[in-house]
Structure 1
Amino acid sequence: MILEVKDLNAWYGKSHILRGVSFNVKPGEILAMLGRNGVGRSTTVKALMGDVEKTGEITFEGNRIDNLPTHEIARLGIGCVPEDRQVFPTLTVHQNLIMGLQSQGRDDGWTPDDAFQLFPRLAERAGTEAGSLSGGEQQLLTMMRTLMGNPKLILIDEPTEGLAPRMVAQVKDLILEIARRGTSVVLVEQKLTVALKIANRVLVMGHGSIVFEGTPADLAAREDVRRDYIEV
């Protein structure tokens, strides 16, 4: 396993959000975390990155990381794409990508040219300030900037939220390409149809804990889980 999480609890002040969350991530797989808003999916991502008060064990490539600060977790090879598309608005598209580059990159690692080949629209706007991009373009830019650091595991929080169907398809294709190139993905996703098409495994969260784990086919067969914990 590239990531193992055991008995993870997390708090915001006195509010106990995560309650004994345990799961693992295999090398090169896409693991989707599903559930309604407010059940703890984004908090799980923040806990993995050291951004919230927590207890429990988090092991990455065999090493405990639950007591490390965020910047050290990132340096070990975990990338994070936050829900709010944090581009540098006054920097150009190309400058945003360069900001994500490691000082010592791998020969087979992600480069700005990869971003421009995959998404010609970003290439067309390489000299444009990122703040003027559409929401979908900003989402793709944020994901590609994170990939410039060549993470071994990438956490992606609600990447399709508010996007038009055409942009959702591009985000989906990028996630599949990330996994194809060997990077593991933890995907927090609201759209059940997207998750079921691209995930190898799915977790469903409810009230701060995991209530279901299985394949997309397993979840498709569980109308009760979808009704009680996913569908609105």
Structure 2
Amino acid sequence: MSRQIVLDTETTGLSAEGGDRIIELGCVELVNRKLTGNNLHLYLNPERDSHEDALKVHGISNEFLRDKPKFAERVQDILQYLQGAELIIHNASFDVGFLDKELELVGLAPLSAHVGGVIDTLAMAKEMFPGKRNSLDSLCDRLGVDNSSRTLHGALLDAELLADVYINMTRGQDALLIMDEATAGAGGTTVAAVDLSRIALTVLTASAQELAEHEEVLVQIDKSSGGKTIWRTLSEA
């Protein structure tokens, strides 16, 4: 079973080292690249106010967070949920940096000690679409993911959108998964290959009229190309 968690955070500002904290955590679970509905969504009391610029981005007021649990109170629930999973994060260094700082503040090992790895979809997008804008909104537009409900940043909504983006970006892997599922039956049952050599294909030859029409087309191409019709060259070869 391949378990992945698409993760996003909202924070009081941009600098974990400067004292900014996580205020919202949104996680969406994928098992074998399919949404399970087993999501995790938490608002957290950061014990400080958000910067004005951050408030404009996420719209989560300081008053709203006053009675929410602190990270230390929910850290074990968070780690249990994330345990062993591969994380999918857009601009992973930002979110991982904040999570590492929160874990450090409660005396726990960094995130890498609890999860199976991290995939950065921003790095993936830069490789797939070099020279283009690769924000989450841009990727939604490019890949046909409906983000019309995203007026402000929200960790759970952004994680849900990123899950759709990631599945679209890695769509070619579906064929591999189908092959895996076909061979994953009891005792490693495999699907027998079809021997195409036993199938007799009917050959339809062109009629005299079709051959004449084809020749007329070649004559027109000869005139426009100065006698350099590739079809005739290939036929002679």
TM-score of the superposed pair, with normalisation by structure 1:
0.24
Query: By percentage of residues, which structure has more strand?
Result: 1
Tell which has more relative contact order, 1 or 2 (C-alpha 8 A, sep 6+).
1
Q: Which has the larger radius of gyration?
A: 2
Name whichever structure is richer in helix by fraction: 2
